[in-house]
Amino acid sequence: MDRRASWPPDLPLPGRPTPGAPSPPPLPPMVPGHFVVADAMPDVRDRLLDQRRLLISGHLDDVVSTRAAAELMVLDGSGDDPIEVHLSSPDGSLVACLALADTVDLISSPVHVVCRGTVGGAAIAVLVAAERRIATSFASFHLVEPRVESTGTSAELLSFADHHQRLVQALHRRIADATGQGLAAVVEVVRPGSVLDADEALRFGLVHEVQRPGPATVTPLHPRG
């Protein structure tokens, strides 16, 4: 009798039943029928719009500005209650931000902006366009002149620089009008770049209110009877 073992051993491969063996029972589904999968959940943006709230975060570019402006106009046409914009945008396109600020000016519904995280650069235009401006206690504000890059001939670059400077001056005027600061004072703060915390922004007039967290409520693990 040949007792030599074969190599590799003749073992059943994973996923391949041994010939003649009974079939394994079917595996239960990974998501039970009574669970709700993510695709079936209501869209968060639609739920916010139902509450007359918008969320703007990240770089505020043309795409974000166009979508936010459209949502503002839809909400404005559906009622007169205030629209709450939650803003967390450290920078953005100057053209896009000024266009969104113009939309805030044009609609009849009051717009309240709640600043969370960092708001700065061109996105400040959207903040100062609001009727009511609120900052959370840990919000920060980066007042700095927006920068832009372009290419072209010398004449094209001169024209572009002149246009950009006019937009920067429009941003300065918006900040001055909203804060009550003189235009020269705004330029003095914005041109070198300044970072303000929530309390400094309140004193500067950039926001009307700072939301502070209330006292924490601790529930004892073993309440006394």
Q: Residues of the chain with pLDDT > 90: what percent?
A: 61
Q: What is the pTM of this model?
A: 0.74
The CATH number of residue 142's host domain is 3.90.226.10
Range of the domain at 114: 43-211
225 inside domain? no
For CA atoms 106, 110, 116, 120, the dihedral sign is: positive
Q: For the chain, where are the E strands, in sequence order?
A: 53-57, 83-88, 111-115, 118-120, 132-136, 140-143, 194-197, 209-211
26 inside domain? no
7 inside domain? no
Q: Per-residue pLDDT tens for 175-205?
A: 999 999 999 999 999 999 999 999 999 999 9
**pLDDT per residue of the chain (225 residues) written in tens, 0 to 9:** 555 544 555 555 555 555 565 665 555 444 444 333 333 344 777 888 888 999 999 999 999 999 999 999 999 999 999 999 999 999 999 999 999 999 999 999 999 999 999 999 999 999 999 999 999 999 999 999 887 777 778 887 788 788 889 999 999 999 999 999 999 999 999 999 999 999 999 999 999 999 988 765 555 556 555
56 inside domain? yes
Residues 142 and 165: beta-carbon distance below 8 Å: no
Provide the token pair at 112.
Answer: 């309240």
d(CA 123, CA 89): 6
198 inside domain? yes
Residues 173 and 167: beta-carbon distance below 8 Å: no
Pick the closest to residue 124 from 156, 160, 170, 82 (CA basis): 170
How many domains is the chain built from? 1
197 inside domain? yes
123 inside domain? yes
3 inside domain? no
List, as one string, the DSSP characters of 100-135.
Answer: HHHHHHHSSS-EEEEE-SEEEGGGHHHHHTSSEEEE
